[in-house]
């Protein structure tokens, strides 16, 4: 085994990847925390002061929109910027205070975030988000709900009763918008699951429909189709796996046993379905890890590719939750994600002069954006930062760096072969 390890290290040196710097977990955490702070401060500081919308606009060059922008109101970008950022950094902000440099950054951002959350629903604040500005609000309100799910005690509980009541009314108001027949149905489920957790009245139809359709659209081997037709893109990572899991998990916690479904083994309740959904995400995460090359790149395909490291969300989510599949060691997942981060964020090419993310995949590449994309959309990249929610003493950070699958494969070392996941779709019958 020592010879194999030495061989892998030499091979990694020759391909100029992770082993060239032997970055350990503590150094990786430091880099991720710095990036989280760099992403968050230009958003949270002005929003906490009620001046984000003033600073984040096209006239200043801080708001960037796709060359094919569809003309929707610019203010929808504010919620994209805030909601997607918070969904990624919420687990980190939930850690207890400490007197480390990281702890100081985290405490500062948490205080700003709580003020920003209040301003987001204050009708007298210029930064009150555009809850009424059309269907796009369904998307980003769902990510905002995820941020509460991921740090309930740190980000929801401290809000005062007036702010909480405003959020509940704002989320109920989203029922005026109907989702397209694709992954958007899960946004509605997430928003209703948030209302359930907050103790508010729930629209059972909107809650259940997204869960029913996600189950119906499972196509096997860890993949869901995005609606009736399969799309080869990263929306399984951006939306489907995490939101389906989080919604069903909330139903289990609330003891809301949704209508059972039936497969060849008989009826399954919500808890059994949650286990199925988790195992599918684990299979998908195993595939994602294999997509990361020895050089820290991954394939660029499908729409919304400027979401950057948001494509790695299932790996980050399962690592944070301590539920990685047995095939993936924490050290290899951390090392693989760090290799991608270094390829994307080792310099400032992904930021504009004002400190906001710029349109592109790896640098300013506006032609990669879709008609609905603005640079607020790109803060989905923060989703890979969820493992920061594990304390620095956790094994995710203290375990040694390990080569990920493609490093082993391309260096000539032994690596685990892959095969079709044995649990595939069964006919479902809704009762």
Element holding 28 (H helix, E strand)? helix 25-48
Taking only the tens place, the pLDDT of each residue in 187-233 is 999 999 999 999 999 999 999 999 999 999 999 999 999 999 999 99
CA–CA dist 145, 81 (Å, integer):
14
Per-residue pLDDT at 113 exceeds 70: yes
Per-residue pLDDT at 427 exceeds 90: no
pLDDT at 152: 98
Q: Which of 11-20, 24-33, 78-87, 146-155 has the least mean pLDDT?
A: 11-20
pLDDT at 22: 40
387-414 average pLDDT score? 97
Count how many Cα atoms sit within 13 Å of the Cα of residue 193 in the half-sphere of its side chain: 35
pLDDT at 13: 42
Q: Which of 17-26, 32-41, 217-226, 254-263 has the least mean pLDDT?
A: 17-26
pLDDT at 247: 95
Tokens of 274: 């949650």
Per-residue pLDDT at 19 exceeds 50: no
22 close to 339: Cβ distance less than 8 angstroms: no
Burial label for 260, CB within 10 Å (0-12, 13-18, 19+), is middle
Element holding 204 (H helix, E strand)? helix 204-216
382 close to 36: Cβ distance less than 8 angstroms: yes
pLDDT at 261: 55
pLDDT at 338: 98
Element holding 117 (H helix, E strand)? helix 101-119
Q: How many residues does the chain have?
A: 431
Per-residue pLDDT at 281 exceeds 80: yes
330 close to 29: Cβ distance less than 8 angstroms: no
CA–CA dist 43, 321 (Å, integer):
26
Closest CA to 295 of 4, 19, 7, 6: 19
Task: Show the domains of the chain with their CATH numbers.
Answer: 2-430 (1.50.10)
Name, in order, each residue with C-beta under 8 angstroms of 360's C-beta and a sequence gap of 6 or more. 306, 350, 366, 368, 369
Mean pLDDT of the chain: 91
How many C-beta neighbours within 10 Å does residue 108 have?
15
pLDDT at 268: 65
Under the banding of pLDDT at 50, 70 and 90, the label for residue 271 is confident
Taking only the tens place, the pLDDT of each residue in 62-97 is 999 999 999 999 999 999 999 999 999 999 999 999
Under the banding of pLDDT at 50, 70 and 90, the label for residue 11 is very low
Question: Residue for token digits 């910027």?
Answer: 81
Tokens of 272: 């059994």
Provide, rounded to the nearest whole percent, the portion of the chain with pLDDT above 70. 90
Per-residue pLDDT at 18 exceeds 50: no
pLDDT at 420: 84
Per-residue pLDDT at 122 exceeds 90: yes
Interior/surface letters 24-52, b for 16+ CB within 10 angstroms, e for the rest:
bbeebbebbbebbbebbebbbbbbbbbeb
pLDDT at 273: 84
DSSP state of 238: I
């Amino acid at each position: 085994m020592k010879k194999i390890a030495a061989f892998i290290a030499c091979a990694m040196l020759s391909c100029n990847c992770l082993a060239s710097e032997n970055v350990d977990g503590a150094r990786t955490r430091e880099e991720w925390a710095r990036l989280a702070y760099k992403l968050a401060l230009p958003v949270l500081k002005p929003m906490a002061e009620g001046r984000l919308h003033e600073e984040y606009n096209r006239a200043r060059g801080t708001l960037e929109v796709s060359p094919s922008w569809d003309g929707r109101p610019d203010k929808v970008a504010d919620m994209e910027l805030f909601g997607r950022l918070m969904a990624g950094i919420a687990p980190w902000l939930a850690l207890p205070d400490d007197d480390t440099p990281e702890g100081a950054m985290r405490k500062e951002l948490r205080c700003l975030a709580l003020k920003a959350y209040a301003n987001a629903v204050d009708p007298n604040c210029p930064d009150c988000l555009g809850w009424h500005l059309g269907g796009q609000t369904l998307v980003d309100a769902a990510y905002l709900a995820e941020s509460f799910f991921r740090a309930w005690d740190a980000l929801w509980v401290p809000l005062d009763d007036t702010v909480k009541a405003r959020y509940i009314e704002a989320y109920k108001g989203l029922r005026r918008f109907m989702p397209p027949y694709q992954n958007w149905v899960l946004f509605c489920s997430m928003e209703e699951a948030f209302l359930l957790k907050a103790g508010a009245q729930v629209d059972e139809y909107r809650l259940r429909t997204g869960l029913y359709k996600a189950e119906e659209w499972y196509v096997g081997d860890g993949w869901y189709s995005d609606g009736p037709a399969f799309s080869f893109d990263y929306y399984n990572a951006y939306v489907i796996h995490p939101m389906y899991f989080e919604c069903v998990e909330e139903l289990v916690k609330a003891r809301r046993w949704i209508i059972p479904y039936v497969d060849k083994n008989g009826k399954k309740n919500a808890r059994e379905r949650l286990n199925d959904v988790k195992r599918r995400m684990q299979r998908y995460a195993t595939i994602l890890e294999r997509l990361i090359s020895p050089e820290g790149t991954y394939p660029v395909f499908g729409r919304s590719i400027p979401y950057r490291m948001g494509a790695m969300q299932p790996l980050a989510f399962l690592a944070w939750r301590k539920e990685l599949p047995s095939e993936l060691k924490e050290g290899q997942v951390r090392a693989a994600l760090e290799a991608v981060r270094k390829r994307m964020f080792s310099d400032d090419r992904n930021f504009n002069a004002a400190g906001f993310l710029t349109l592109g995949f790896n640098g300013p590449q506006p032609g990669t954006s879709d008609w609905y994309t603005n640079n607020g959309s790109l803060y989905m990249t923060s989703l890979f930062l969820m493992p920061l929610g594990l304390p620095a003493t956790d094994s995710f950070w203290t375990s040694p760096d390990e080569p990920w699958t493609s490093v082993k494969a391309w260096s000539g070392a032994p690596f685990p072969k892959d095969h079709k996941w044995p649990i595939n779709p069964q006919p479902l019958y809704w009762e």
